[in-house]
Chain A
Amino acid sequence: MEILRCENVSKIYGEGDTEVRALDNVSFTVEKGEFVSIIGPSGSGKSTLLHILGGVDKPTSGKVFIDGTDMHSLNEDKLAIFRRRQIGLVYQFYNLMPVLNIDENIALPHLLDGRPLDKERLDQVVDHLGLTDRRGNLPSQLSGGQQQRVSIGRAMYSHPAILLADEPTGNLDRKTGEEIIDLLKESNKINKQTLILITHDESLAMQADRIISIEDGRIGRNEKVRNLV
């Protein structure tokens, strides 16, 4: 079942001589529960694509459907609500709220939706992330790996339809990076969450079900991993 459809998405920055075409007519679909890696060199437009998929940026042209909804036809508030319910974002630099502790950061999208905290679920997630003894700590009191775990916890907690991860291991050492990828894969498998991972690390990308490569804002490859192996 199709959960995401990207139709002829283009993104242009600047005008005239300074015009930069970050994405050029990008189209692809993702099935529910699928794990897709988007790879490409620096400046290829993969992060722009992720932001457009995540609803934090708008395409210059083209449409993005998530679970049948044309995301960018929604107004600001509806888009925000849609985002917090359907999309979980994991960034390279974690992007946690510096004034909230682990528990609060994890539950944030859920709380923003006006829903009361599910304490049991929170305990489960924190326990699963291995952060039980650091729950009161602020992000600045955690290591990079721990912060990224919190970031994943935040993306997982409210069961969004899609998890978008932008270079989640880019700022971590190899071992920690592997742990983080394992967590994401676990979430993909156990919670049946669609996972779109942006990376420039081919070996990481190979762990996905499918790889989409982007070069100069255009889709290069779009193939199942088993076909590549």
Chain B
Amino acid sequence: MDNKKIIFQVTKTYMKKNRKRTLVTFLGILVMVMLMTAVFVGKDTVLDYMKNVVEESSGSWHYQVFDIDKKQLQQLKELDCVDKCEVSKPLGYTEFAESGDPDTTPFLELKEYSNDLLKLMNIKLKEGRYPKNPDEVIISARALREGSDIKLGDTIDVDCFERYVYAYTEEERQAAIDAGNEDCHVFFPPNYIINPGETKKAPAHYQYYKDNCLIEMIHEPTGVNKSLTVVGIMEDPFFAAPGQGGYIAITGLDDSVGDDEKVNAVLTIDVNKKADSYGEIAKILDTSQTPEEREALLADNSSYTTKTGERIPVEKGRIDVNNMLLAFFDEGQNGTMNFIILFVQVFFVVLITAASLILIYNVFSMSYQERSKYLGMLSSVGATRRQKRWSVYYEVFSLLSLALPIGVGLGLIVVKGGVELLVPHFTKMFSTISANIAMERSFDVDFSVVISPVNILLVIIFSTLAVWISAWIPARKISKVGPVESIRGNETTKKHKKKGYKTYLGLMLKGKSENLIGRASVDRNRTATKGIIRSITSFVALTMIITFATGSIGDILNSEFGQDTMSVGTAYKGYKYVFEQGGFLDNEIYDSCKEDIMSSKEVTGYREWESIGSNDWIPLTYYKDEYTDAAKQVIKSWFPNGNAEEIQKYIEGKGDYDNAFINPRTEIVILEEDEFEKVAENAGIDLAKYEESETGPALIYDSIKLSSYDCTLFRGGAQKPDYSEYSFKEPLNVKAGDTIDLTFRNYQNDNEETYDLTAPIEFAGYIKDSDIEEYYDLKPDNLVVIISEKTRENIKQVNSELGDILCKSYKYLFFNVNTDDAGVLKKLSQIRDELKEPCLWPAEGLIDRTSFISAFTNVANIMAVCFTILVALICLLNLYNSVMGRSLARHKEFAVLYSMGMTGKQKNKMLTIENVRLLIKAFIKSALITLAFVICLYQLISLRYRGVHITIPVLAIVVTILVSIIGLMVFTKVCYRQNSNKQIIDEIRRESV
């Protein structure tokens, strides 16, 4: 047997002898490996799942480029960053005689797709097969749902045309009315502007209008006519718009592109190349030949600023980007998601390593004296330092070799279980996307644990590194143990170099023996207690750090992306259903349904919630200087080179770019009189003095924030700055009783002209969110003005136009019914189905209708809680081990105390006093560490997200403190129970028999 083998043999014996300690070390390493696996594999699994969801929702393409010629197509194909370039040819529309709903959908909207493109666009078959050539077609299942009897094998004769819109002039409109055409509303998508007398290609997926008095639909034949054989029925594609005039139909592709032909290209890029792909594509679409021409195009079109700062004119709608999908590859237009994912990964790996490091280090520190005995003996028979070091390494690496396969296996189970738990949240997270999908489209995304060899290798590397680092210091320390000192075990003697300790005379004079021993044990034997203090400190600090970091991520996301200004208050939480006017139901229909609900005997309770949707604001002149200064800073962040005069112009909304002003928009909340009085009373505001007011008093929510993203300059093409945020309390420069001109923007009936109206309101005071929480859950994104129903009526008296504006609100009627089978519910459901409007909801769905970001934050929170629990587990194991180690080392001490006549009660009191002192010390240390971390984190966040308000996780702090107190008390109880009298007698006997 060689020397190393002897060392290993002795270490193995020691490990067997100290089974409990070996088990704790093993568990610590096991949990570490499990967590590492969860981090590495979990990240890929979650990202893969999310990517699949996005692909399911919107296809796996990255860019779509529209209306390109043969040369541009070739250029796109030749781009280095382009991985796949598939062609689609829009064939236009054709009459669809088999339509089951010819009044709203009389056409087929035809496209030619290659086989690969069908996959990229996530076209899913319900029956049949994909088309193989341009004479075969698959049709959207919507056609069948709406009554078409088309079936596989049928032939459709197509005669294709493009649809154009001609907008009537006033005279033509009148003539059309005279000719008996319907006087109706016509809707266009945002950004589609057509002037009277103008003819323009119809918007994509445009709905069908019969002859009417506003527009004429013109069909321009394309010359494509042929017979198509139906070979398949597909689920509605993601791009299908509800209400569009043609059912989507896709044929196989004729891949030849004529010289004058215009096609669309669908691209995927090689994400590993990290190229400025949008810029490269934009350059191909740029047809300008000279700088002047480019400037002219830039003035007319939207533009793209490349990574090098070059601005390229891109016609609106020419490039479509699958931002959600690209975000997973750090290729999207917003890098926040990737930044956060990377941050979370690094953060958790560091934390897990830190927790494990402290655990393993503690195990060896606690057992130093025991080990030094056998190592000293080995040393006395010639063991070298290196051999002694190897005894430590042997122990940890033998445990690691066992923990690795088990830990990886457990980690994979954790990932699988965790993702299954998270899937409902992911579904909610993607509800904003799935909402765009036609109702009948299936949305089934399976997830599978993504196990890549690289990740497993990373787990092994990081685990090994963590274990090696943890063992390195104890190994070095143990290697220095000499034969004599280790056998004598006088390590403690060396520690007490201090001359003497001041007697705790005060405690002695009061006869407080438990306090005396407890205090002395903690303060005079720091070597023995530092393990426990370190364990509690690591538990509290790591938990706090995780909670703080996760909270910060949530705060960043909510600050940067949060959109909801307000939602319903606590009074609405108990309702089961909500009928929503939501801006899409006619007031008449809503009122009629409301009447039905209110008069129904099946309805057991109801409450209406109203949100005003007007374009109103309080002029900047009313704001305090700090707000205006912050507004200037925001403008400056968009235009770093802008001088004071230009910035002032932007502030006043007179800049060169559209909407280039800081948006001081207000939200108006209208409360019933009694509710308004209650809110004022909550805020301590006396309303009596406003009884003579012309319109009435107004309360204002005291918080508002302004961020660099509130500056609506996106269309101007300026470089988007980093996120910065400014928070204000009581932002207006007014005092109670002052009149404020609440300003509204209104539109002239028939053109784009706008004009402003003002309503004088009397400022009564500021309220806090808690004052109004029963009715509204307010957020400080906009300034919120609260008025009463009476004030609305008064404003209507002053100016009827203003009254009309204030009546344009979104209304939600929350109600409960005595049975889920209630007739009133059936009636409302029928109305919902007939109108095809989502006006009836389970109330929970509306209240919890979470945005992508809040769902993302939820997911992050769940993951953080899971990790906190697991990291806390390592820390608690560590604490248990430290308490156990200390209790074992104190057998003799307790033997002495027992023989001196200490009772069990006194022992418990002494241990409690010790624990209190240990906890205080640990809490102070963890507070300092957490504070240092928070300051660093805040500084780091400020580099990218200036001024973001970071919430203090009070609940987490309380829970962590409670868990550490309970943990220490319980572990003390368990571990010191071993100090039973019998063992104590054995301890005394060991030295005296």
Contacts and interface: CB of A to CB of B under 8 A. Distances in A.
Contacts of B898: 56, 80
A191 interface: no
A170 B931 CA distance: 55
A167 B81 CA distance: 89
Contact of B503 (A51, A98, A135, A141): A135
**Which 7 A-B pairs give the minimum distances between C-beta atoms?**
A84-B901, A136-B500, A111-B513, A117-B508, A99-B520, A116-B511, A83-B901
B991 A93 contact: yes
Residue among A57, A108, A112, A136 with the highest chain B CB neighbour number at 10 A: A112
A92 B985 CA distance: 15
Given A43-B993, A84-B901, A113-B901, A101 B510 contact: no
B888 to A, nearest CB: 15
Contact of A93 (B502, B904, B992): B992
A35 interface: no
A101 B903 contact: no
Interface string A148-161: 00000010000000
B900 A109 contact: yes
B899 A89 contact: yes
A109 B901 contact: yes
A43 B524 CA distance: 37
Contact of A80 (B896, B901, B991, B993): B901
A112 B900 contact: yes
A208 to B, nearest CB: 19
Given A108-B513, A115-B511, A47 B993 contact: yes
B496 A141 contact: yes
5 contacts: A80-B898, A93-B991, A95-B892, A101-B501, A166-B992
Interface in A54-105: 54, 56-57, 76-77, 80-85, 89, 91-93, 95-101, 103-104
Given A47-B992, A95-B895, A116 B510 contact: yes
Contacts, number: 139
Given A80-B903, A85-B901, A117-B508, 18 more contacts: A56-B984, A56-B988, A76-B904, A77-B903, A77-B905, A91-B988, A93-B992, A95-B899, A96-B896, A97-B517, A97-B520, A107-B508, A108-B513, A114-B511, A114-B513, A140-B496, A141-B500, A154-B900
Contact of A134 (B500, B895, B993): B500
A119 interface: yes
A183 interface: no
A113 B901 CA distance: 8
A184 B493 CA distance: 28
A112 B509 contact: no
Interface in B486-541: 490, 492-493, 496, 499-505, 508-513, 516-517, 520-521, 524-525
B924 interface: no
A169 to B, nearest CB: 14
Nearest to B910: A112
B981 interface: yes
A3 B516 CA distance: 33
A92 B508 contact: no
A111 B507 CA distance: 9
B516 A104 contact: yes
A100 B517 contact: yes
Given A92-B991, A95-B892, A138-B496, A54 B899 contact: yes
Interface of A: 43, 47-48, 50-51, 54, 56-57, 76-77, 80-85, 89, 91-93, 95-101, 103-104, 107-109, 111-117, 119, 134-138, 140-141, 154, 166-167
B897 interface: yes
B515 to A, nearest CB: 10
Nearest to A171: B991
Contact of B981 (A76, A98, A103): A76
B401 interface: no
Nearest to A160: B901
Interface of B: 490, 492-493, 496, 499-505, 508-513, 516-517, 520-521, 524-525, 892-893, 895-906, 981, 984-985, 988-989, 991-993
Contacts of B516: 100, 104, 111
Contacts of B896: 95-97
If over half of B's interface residues share one DSSP class (helix, strand or loop), that class is named, otherwise mixed; here it is helix
Contact of B985 (A51, A80, A141): A51
A154 B893 CA distance: 15
Given A47-B989, A77-B905, A108 B900 contact: yes
A66 to B, nearest CB: 13
Contacts of B903: 76-77, 80-81
A165 B192 CA distance: 105
B993 A48 contact: yes
B511 A99 contact: no
Nearest to B984: A56
A166 B899 CA distance: 13
Residue among A51, A99, A112 with the highest chain B CB neighbour number at 10 A: A99
A99 B991 CA distance: 20
A77 B993 contact: no
A136 B499 contact: yes
Contacts of B904: 76-77, 80
Contacts of A85: 901
Given A95-B899, A98-B525, A137 B500 contact: yes
Contacts of B490: 140
Nearest to B507: A111
A99 B513 CA distance: 13
Contacts of A134: 500
Given A77-B904, A91-B991, A103 B508 contact: yes
A113 B576 CA distance: 67
A112 B513 contact: yes
A119 B897 CA distance: 22
B989 A51 contact: yes
Nearest to A95: B896
Residue among A80, A81, A107 with the highest chain B CB neighbour number at 10 A: A80
A71 B984 CA distance: 19
B511 A117 contact: yes
B531 to A, nearest CB: 16
Contacts of A138: 496, 501, 524
A80 B906 CA distance: 11
Given A56-B985, A77-B905, A98-B893, A111 B511 contact: yes
A92 B989 CA distance: 11
A93 B991 CA distance: 7
Contact of A136 (B502, B520, B525, B895): B502
A141 B985 CA distance: 26
A97 B905 contact: no
A89 B984 CA distance: 15
Nearest to A115: B511
A99 B499 contact: no
A166 to B, nearest CB: 5
Contacts of B897: 97, 112
Contacts of B520: 97, 99-100, 104
Given A77-B905, A108-B900, A117-B509, A97 B993 contact: no
A148 B525 CA distance: 22
Contacts of B504: 104
A79 to B, nearest CB: 9
Contacts of B992: 47, 50-51, 91-93, 166-167
B502 to A, nearest CB: 6
A97 B516 CA distance: 12
Contacts of B993: 43, 47-48
